[in-house]
């Protein structure tokens, strides 16, 4: 097994990006269905993030969140209200 240790003191530059993305996807999949936004809603939000000047390498520079994680959360919110829950 070729797995780097993961600690809370690691910088992103010290983490294998592929492994990190894989962990991020696993966290999203482990969310309860009631806590997760639909795929359609998540994609709608991400399209808005993709147009936003605050997006940099998957991170929202306005709040520091990983937009793929935040957008997958049913009650996730954009700090600038560019997207909210689309009921
Ligand atoms: S969460 Fe909001 S402010 Fe952050 S990148 Fe997405 S649209 Fe922009």
Q: How many domains does the chain have?
A: 1
Does residue 82's CB lie within 6 angstroms of at least one atom of ligand 1? yes
- 43 part of a folded domain: yes
pTM of the model: 0.81
Digit-coded pLDDT (tens) for 23-48: 888 999 999 999 999 999 999 999 99
Residue located nearest, by CA, to atom 4 of ligand 1? 60
Farthest CA pair distance, the chain: 43
What integer pLDDT is reported at residue 15 of this predicted model? Answer: 75
22 falls within a domain: no
Tell me the pLDDT tens digit for each residue of 5-15. Answer: 556 666 767 77
User: Does ligand 1 lie within 6 Å of residue 72's CB atom?
Assistant: no
13 in a structural domain: no
Structure token pair of residue 52: 């936003």
Torsion of CA 36, 4, 16, 69, to 10 degrees: 10
**Other Cβ atoms within 10 Å of 80 Cβ, number:** 11
Domain-located, residue 82: yes
In angstroms and rounded to an integer, the radius of gyration of the C-alpha atoms of the chain is 14
- Ligand 1 closest atom vs CA 53: 8
Residue with CA at minimum distance from ligand 1 atom 2: 78
16 falls within a domain: no
- Domain span at residue 73 reads 36-87
The mean predicted confidence, pLDDT, of the chain is 86
Q: Please indicate, yes or no, if residue 17 is contained in any of the structural domains.
A: no
């Amino acid at each position: 097994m070729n797995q780097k240790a993961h600690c809370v003191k690691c910088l992103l530059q010290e983490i294998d990006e592929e492994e990190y993305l894989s962990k991020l996807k696993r966290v999203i999949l482990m969310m309860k269905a009631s806590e997760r936004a639909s795929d359609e809603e998540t994609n709608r939000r991400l399209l808005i993030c993709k147009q936003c000047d605050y997006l940099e390498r998957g991170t929202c520079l306005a709040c520091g969140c990983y937009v793929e994680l935040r957008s997958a959360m049913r009650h996730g919110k954009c700090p600038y209200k560019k997207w909210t829950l689309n009921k």
